[in-house]
Amino acid sequence: MRMNTTQREIFLQLPALNPPDGIEPNFVNPDDLHTSTIISCIILVILSTMAVGMRAFTKFKLVGTHIEDYFILVSWVIFIAGFQLPAVLMFPHLKVGAHQWNVTMEELMRHLKVRHSYVLSINYTAGIFFLKAAINLQGLRVFCPKGARDITFFLWHALLWGNNIFYLYITIAGIFSCRPINKAWDITITSGHCTNRLRGHSVAAILNTTSDVLMLAMAQRGIWRLRLSLRKRLSLSAMFLVGAVACVFAAIRIPPALKLSHTTDVTYYMARMGRWTGPEYVCGLLAACLPVLPRFCIFLGAQPAIKNNITAMQGVLRLWSGRMNPSGSDEESQKDKSKVQTKGRNILGDVVVNELTEDTGESSINTSEFGRYSESTTSKEKPLEFVTLPTV
């Protein structure tokens, strides 16, 4: 039975939840997460834009592109236009993170439409679909030699298709979770039916964290099977550990997601769960983009203005080091000269290798994925090749 216009207007001004005993509803200025959420959105937009811009320039201009590069761009566009922009525009009208008894029925409906049921929830899963597909495709390209059909190949494929099916399913299930569709946010509709979306959030949070951990473990497994020095393995490994931060943010979402499945205070716990989705998303973008940073730095270091500044800074540091340690200045000077004569072997902390191989002696990494930077030498030795970190 549908309400008439008068009944609907009265209903929409009621508290969305009865408050606990002794607590009066506050519809004017309740405690919420609005300010911290807006600041977080701005920071995340800046970080993600810088990282994706750096990767796009490096891949499109310097190295070459693959399908995963376009997936990352699509994921970033969804993050900005479908996740952060609606949040910044709509959160001032949502009382984000307020207890539900401080929210009217009308505000609850707006909250359900924007944050819980549709705009942000569905755009998040759609964006993560493209992001994790890109990371898994890059893992296949980097850590699996062409034509290999070993355990690494099948594990990466299992992660790729498992993530694809899971996120595609929850995106479609989220869109059609209610019949009629607008019943998902319009609580005045009494006909039709909906699935238990709140329980779905807890399941999705657990599976999402699991997939993050598995992808991180696969990348680390590939790195530590390379025949490299411990220092170089640590350097490579550190570039991928931003994925560990994504795992932490994903895990933090689990407790409020579990609470959400059996609470009536939806607006409060939804905000506590949702506030970590943005940082997790951006850490995923960083994990995909940072491995090309050494190649980007090599490009910058080759620019005359930047190269001159680096040389000047190195001279100042050598001079300062000599004053601090006069007795060892000659010895340090000789060491510095030898470093300069190696034609940039230590340039900008890049990892210098001519071939990346497993401890077994067989190549486990696709070196064609890396951008190389070579310099000629006056000796008869083979010119050094600077190999950027593998792009996850």
Between 372 and 176, residue with greater pLDDT: 176
Within this chain, do residues 162 and 44 fall inside the same structural domain, yes or no?
yes
Q: Is the pTM of this model over 0.95?
A: no
Within this chain, do residues 109 and 231 fall inside the same structural domain, yes or no?
yes
Q: Is residue 372 part of a domain?
A: no
Within this chain, do residues 208 and 322 fall inside the same structural domain, yes or no?
no
The CA distance from 328 to 93, in Å, is 66
Write out pLDDT tens, residues 155-169: 999 999 999 999 999
Within this chain, do residues 228 and 317 fall inside the same structural domain, yes or no?
no
Q: Is residue 326 part of a domain?
A: yes
Which region among 113-127, 138-152, 268-282 has the lowest average model confidence (pLDDT)? 113-127
Q: Is residue 226 part of a domain?
A: yes
Within this chain, do residues 321 and 197 fall inside the same structural domain, yes or no?
no
CATH (domain of 95): 1.20.1070
pLDDT the model gives residue 322: 66
Instruction: Give the chain's domain count.
Output: 2
Q: Is residue 115 part of a domain?
A: yes
The CA distance from 55 to 46, in Å, is 14
Q: Is residue 346 part of a domain?
A: no
Between 136 and 11, residue with greater pLDDT: 136
**Which single residue is written with the structure tokens 């609606």?**
86
* Mean pLDDT for the stretch of residues 54-76: 93
**Which single residue is written with the structure tokens 């592109």?**
65
For 273-297, letters b (16+ CB in 10 Å) and e give bbbbbbbbbbbbbbbbbbbbbbbbb
- Parent domain of 316: 302-340
Within this chain, do residues 261 and 122 fall inside the same structural domain, yes or no?
yes
Asked if 388 contacts 295 with a C-beta cutoff of 8 angstroms, the reply is yes
Within this chain, do residues 182 and 279 fall inside the same structural domain, yes or no?
yes
Write out pLDDT tens, residues 277-290: 999 999 999 999 98
Q: What is the DSSP letter of 79?
A: I
Q: Is residue 309 part of a domain?
A: yes
* Mean pLDDT for the stretch of residues 308-325: 69
Would the pLDDT of 324 be above 80? no
pLDDT the model gives residue 115: 62
Write out pLDDT tens, residues 178-225: 888 888 888 888 888 888 777 777 888 899 899 999 999 998 888 888
Q: Which of 233, 266, 296 is the last residue of a domain?
A: 296
Would the pLDDT of 384 be above 60? no
Q: Is residue 19 part of a domain?
A: no
The CA distance from 179 to 194, in Å, is 6
Of the ranges 100-114, 309-323, 357-371, which is most confident?
Answer: 100-114
Within this chain, do residues 170 and 307 fall inside the same structural domain, yes or no?
no
pLDDT the model gives residue 323: 62
* Mean pLDDT for the stretch of residues 355-361: 39
Which region among 23-27, 186-190, 248-252 has the lowest average model confidence (pLDDT)? 186-190
* Mean pLDDT for the stretch of residues 122-137: 92
- 3 state DSSP class of 229: coil
Within this chain, do residues 105 and 207 fall inside the same structural domain, yes or no?
yes
Which region among 50-54, 85-89, 193-197, 332-336 has the lowest average model confidence (pLDDT)? 332-336
Within this chain, do residues 211 and 308 fall inside the same structural domain, yes or no?
no
* Mean pLDDT for the stretch of residues 17-41: 86
- 3 state DSSP class of 20: coil
Would the pLDDT of 337 be above 50? no
pLDDT the model gives residue 327: 53
Within this chain, do residues 278 and 148 fall inside the same structural domain, yes or no?
yes
Would the pLDDT of 75 be above 90? yes
Radius of gyration of the chain (CA): 26
Q: Is residue 23 part of a domain?
A: no
Within this chain, do residues 38 and 148 fall inside the same structural domain, yes or no?
yes
